[in-house]
Structure 1
Amino acid sequence: MNKKEIFSFAFLALFGIIIFYISGLVGILEFILSLCIYSLVFFTLHIIWTYLRKKESMDISSFLKKFLSSMASIIFLLVFILGGFAYYNNEIEPAPMPNITLSNGEKTIIFQAMSHVGTRSFYDKVINDIKERKTNGYVYFFEGVQGGTEENTQKFDKAIGIKFDKNLYKNFSKLYGVVYQDNNEFLGHINDLDFNVDLTIDEIIERYEEGGVEETSTTPPMDVNEEILNTLAELNDRQLKVLVYINQAILNFLIKSDGLRDVITEHVGNAKLFDVILNKRNEVLSSAIIKSEYDEIYVTYGLLHFEGVLKLLQEDDNTWKEIERFNYFPIQ
């Protein structure tokens, strides 16, 4: 064997050991079986191809050496790309959640962008910030869509395509090795000046149905909770750790990638419903800020809402501007 073949076989052996460590005997057997199946498929294709072109085909031994060498190169490349992607987004440049101070000279708003799932330390920092600000005279505005009638809840689930219940983010967080955002943790600190500034499910459906809604799908909403629980039940602890690390990298990447995030949110799913969930709620928050009797307000709202809220504030009063910004990191 030449050096390339020795390296290839050594890498495949190492990769097999890693699979065994993560997935056990079943994992390594599945890996070996996959290599056998693909080698037979490609060897058959090789025989057919050489026959049609009237060329001499390789013997099985020579073909296997070339095939395994090629597979080692492909697996190495994939591992390098995926591992590099995950390491960069988790360790070198994780996604920030900005804490932004806005002012028009009369009122001061601190907008803490939020993620529905994040590390315990991220939420603890936000809680401590709320306590400090409320000690210094701030009131607290927070997002939180309240429930509606059973009929409207079913309409909402159908429009968004998933069964949306209180356990969704809790279960979702398990796939990311973090915790979920529990608004109750942010309430009642220092004083009771906490205000839920948001729409209800009934109000969202009312705005969504304005002008009529064309039914385009008869598919029932997906039970994401069940899918998540089934996935978790199939994974051992080591497999879950690998999945969590990759999922965290993907989430960090999506949070940072404004353009890709906008394409996904606007073109994947129900655009009209998304307009209500984003833009109509921006109107609710900006109106509450403008009309509030309080001059110092601490706001926790989703990251996607900031630009729209700032735009609406500036349309009302062009002296609104950003005066300070720093970042927390929810997935780090």
Structure 2
Amino acid sequence: MSSRSSRPSEPNPARKAGEHLTMADLAELAGVSAITVSRALRDSPLVNPETRAKIKELAEQQGYQFNISARNLRLRRSMTVAVVVEMKPTVERQMSGPYPLDLLGGISQELTSAGYSVLLTSLQGGALPSVQAADGVILLGQGAHEDAMHEVQRWGRPMVVWGAVSRHETQVVVGSDNHRGGKLAAERFLALGRRRPVFLGDSAHGEFAERLEGFVDTLAEHGIVPLTPTVANFTVSAGAQAVHQLLDEHPQFDALFAASDLLAIGAIRALIERGRRVPEDVSVIGYDDTPLGATYLPPLTSIHQNFVDAGVSLARKILAMIEGRPAQSEILPTHLVARVT
């Protein structure tokens, strides 16, 4: 960091006893800019630890009090970001899963370091006054047909969305490389000699549509067309129910790529109940690489996406938008974690 080299000075003799010390005064004493002082007093990682310590020590010596309320009023900011989770928690699909918990961890880590508070809410809560007062919104999940994104967009706040990047040129979106995830699943099935695959998911959701597209495009190069039954819910029971129906109508399939680990676990459960061996008779691949999938028996092969890094990226982009800096959509890498299935 560039700054004017100076060591802490004695109290400014021109300042009368009891006169309020401003941030500009403190910056002059420390030999740095006012924004550096502001960041240091908020423990921002943008200021190196040595400079932060020097500024805090000087502020204590000079009796400087960082008035957060006054700063927020001056900037006309609440220093709050609303994080809206697009999901209705159920017993089978809980908020404690990697989605959204790991995403929230990355978001909170970055926002709190920048001096912001995190307001967690859901679409069921609507645009509450506290949400309307937030400086920006992070939406976790676009919703079927992007309905959740369109709803939050109407709130009129700066917004960054977690989901499918391919469908939006004007909206700032952070997402995983779902197309590559689908491609990797197809390539593994081809390497295993599987010729009758199934995709389990719902293409009304942008992320699932990207996964399906990568899967279908790769298989098409080998003259293979997968079965693609629609599964509206992302739960274990929904996966099991879909596979029971598949076995009744198309019992010949020998590979199954599920759009989430929960769907894949449900699929394995149904296959075993119907006397099919996994992976001998049917190979199964999930998506998300969750701890549940990794410890399931048999351990689940899955496509990994890094939710923590995604959360950090979402937070950085909304901070940029709040501060009037440019922000662009971002696609994060995915890779296949091969296990027993």
Normalised-by-shorter TM-score class = under 0.3
Q: Which has the higher contact order (CA 8 A, sep 6+)?
A: 1
Give the structure with the larger helix fraction: 1
TM-score (structure 1 length as normaliser): 0.24
